[in-house]
Amino acid sequence: MQTQIRVDWLISQLKIIGGAEVYVKYTVPRLRNLGWDLRVITFSEGDQIADELRNAGIPLIELIAENKYDFRVVKSLFSLWKEDRPRIVHTHLYHAGIIGRFCAFPSRIYPVIVQQHGPELYRTRLRSSIDRVSSRLVTKYIVTCKAVQEVLRLRERIPSKKIKIIYNGINIPEESILSYPSEWAVPPGSISICCVGRLTEEKGQQHLVNALTKLTTKYPNIHTVFLGEGPNKKNLIELTKQYDLNSNISFVGYKSDIRKWLPFFDIFVLPSDWEGVSMALLEAMMQGLPVIASSTGGNPEIVVNNVTGFLVPPKNPDALASAIENLIINPDQRRHMGDAGRERAMKEFNINRTVLELDSFYKDLLRL
């Protein structure tokens, strides 16, 4: 690339940490290393990921909105682009996607890319209608898997030719983690289970708690660790107390680097009601853990059933318990599945592949 080309990434927020936010953290620095003059714009004050981006030398602009109906951010974005117009706009999450396309059109910015990270099955009809009607302002949609592509095609009526699939990717570990995290509290000799993600109802952690009630009498040495924060945490803690599972479950909160934790677990569980492509699931596979995931969204595109782990029906604690028990009583199977998962993640879902696909995608749009 002869001269750097400005690309603005818009994301609704960076404070609540989910897959889209982690994706930004992983991807932006690498795209800049390939020569793209990339900056991040968000509509709220950031937190840990914002600090990590700044520490990595990433330009970050926070256009603070008091609430999601605070349209002063539109005026601020117009002013910003009037002074310093990017060549490409690439948006993440719903509000950034809508605001970005409506501001880019009169600002004469083209192309406009909207990335849909998950299916958002709880999206309201109003949101879908707004997205559908304004889709003509979008040059291309990026989705993380075929399942999300199908949702966009059927619900928002986006034609397949306007959608590009680029799977999420994660870093290949450069070194082994040899010591337990300082907050590690899993009793010695336990079968340790890890569940990573925001503690929200759609992530399905309640199904895992219910599954554990079917296992702990027979396998009292099971210990499950939930890594994450979210609005459903109080309910999950109450459910844990109700089922008398306090000695079998720990809530350790959000951890910025789950790689310091993952190598020490025996099993990884992702019990979501719906998913796009889970970054945590990819991290677990990269660390050689056998995985159990609900057969929804992009999970079947990531997990090879009976090879790298098990796929179970969503919202089914009985099936979840059966899969966990299978791995408890078959340590050799755990090891073989973990090895197969690591090989698949390194080959198909590493961050370098994702970034090179984005780089090529940008160049194709600009006809470079």
Please name the amino acid found at residue 131: D
pLDDT of residue 193 exceeding 70: yes
The Cα–Cα gap between 266 and 191 comes to 6
Cβ-contact 89, 10 below 8 angstroms: yes
Q: Is 312 exposed, middle or buried (0-12, 13-18, 19+ CB in 10 A)?
A: buried
Q: Which class is 6-169+350-366 in CATH?
A: alpha beta
The Cα–Cα gap between 328 and 248 comes to 15
Q: What mean pLDDT do residues 108-131 have? A: 92
pLDDT at 144: 95
User: Which DSSP string do the residues of 257-277 spell out, in sequence order?
Assistant: -GGGTGGG-SEEEE--SS-S-
Q: What mean pLDDT do residues 36-57 have? A: 90
Side-chain-side CA neighbours of residue 249 (13 Å): 26
272-287: per-residue pLDDT in tens? Answer: 999 999 999 999 999 9
Q: Which residues contact 97 (CB under 8 A, 6 or more apart)?
A: 10, 91, 114, 115, 116, 131
pLDDT at 209: 98
> What does the domain layout of the chain look like in residue ranges?
6-169+350-366, 191-348
Please name the amino acid found at residue 342: R
**What angle is formed at CA 338 by the lines to CA 337 and CA 340, rounded to 5 degrees?**
65
Q: Of residues 64 and 250, which shows the higher confidence score?
A: 250
191-348: CATH architecture: 3-Layer(aba) Sandwich (3.40)
pLDDT at 108: 95
Same fold, 6-169+350-366 and 191-348: yes
Cβ-contact 63, 77 below 8 angstroms: yes
Q: Which residues contact 197 (CB under 8 A, 6 or more apart)?
A: 203, 205, 227, 228, 270, 272, 278, 280
pLDDT of residue 3 exceeding 70: no
Residue found by looking up tokens 């782990």 in the block: 309
- Is 0.85 surpassed by the pTM of this model? yes
Beta strands in the chain (DSSP E): 6-11, 37-42, 60-62, 88-92, 112-116, 140-143, 163-165, 191-196, 222-227, 249-253, 267-270, 291-294, 309-312
pLDDT of residue 70 exceeding 90: no
How confident is residue 17, by pLDDT bands cut at 50, 70 and 90?
Answer: confident
209-249: per-residue pLDDT in tens? Answer: 999 999 999 999 999 999 999 999 999 999 999 999 999 99
pLDDT of residue 347 exceeding 90: yes
